[in-house]
A = this chain, B = another copy of it.
Amino acid sequence: MVLIRELEQKILAQGKILPGEVLQVGSFLNQQIDTMLLKQMGDEIARLYEGNNVTKVLTIEASGIAIAYAAALSMRLPLVFAKKHSSSNLSGNLLTSKVFSYTHKQSYDIMVSGDFISNEDTVLIVDDFLAKGNALAGLIEIVNQAGAELAGCAIAIEKGFQGGGDALRAKGIRVESLAIIDSMTDDSLKFRPQ
């Protein structure tokens, strides 16, 4: 796939490896967004889940929103994003879950209004990163609370060596990652062939 190679090349050229197994891709995915690359990634996610009768795309604020929007736009579906903190802009019946953030070393609550995901939905979860899988686990819990069906997950960059993706796959959950990094040291980075 031309797109996958382009994404891998971009990670190699612009990604910065920081202490604590942090991969910084702020120049195209995380703070500055390469809109045309994200559009292609959204189109690819739509292609991967074509025919799965997905009704809603679900992500988590903040850095998941752009790629999830790109996927939802390509699928012509509504996008729902989980909020990380309580907000005066949320009320009524709430679906909630707890997530431990590996980056920030603390737990936080995530929540979605029960108005936006119901037991009639088939949900595709989209996020920018997958490491230990904590954010995905929280989002899957919300899908379950809603009584909705989970079509699967789609991720821009999976840090395969942190095991979260393979643990979900072992449970029978479909996880599609556009790039999977199998090893990462201070100065090198290896992708899983796919």
Contact = CB atoms under 8 A, between A and B. Distances in A.
Given A78-B34, A79-B32, A26 B73 contact: no
Interface string A40-73: 0000000000000000000001110110011011
Select the residue from A33, A34, A90 with max chain B CB neighbours within 10 A: A33
Interface stretch (A17-25, A142-150, A155-163, A171-179): A17-25
Select the residue from A61, A63, A73, A112 with max chain B CB neighbours within 10 A: A73
Contact of A65 (B66, B103, B115): B66
A73 B39 CA distance: 8
Contacts of A33: 69, 72, 78-81
Contact of A35 (B22, B31, B78, B104): B78
A35 B103 contact: no
A30 to B, nearest CB: 6
B104 A88 contact: yes
A113 B78 CA distance: 31
A87 interface: yes
Interface of A: 18, 20, 22, 24, 26-27, 30-36, 38-39, 61-63, 65-66, 69-70, 72-73, 76-81, 83, 87-91, 103-104, 112-113, 115-116
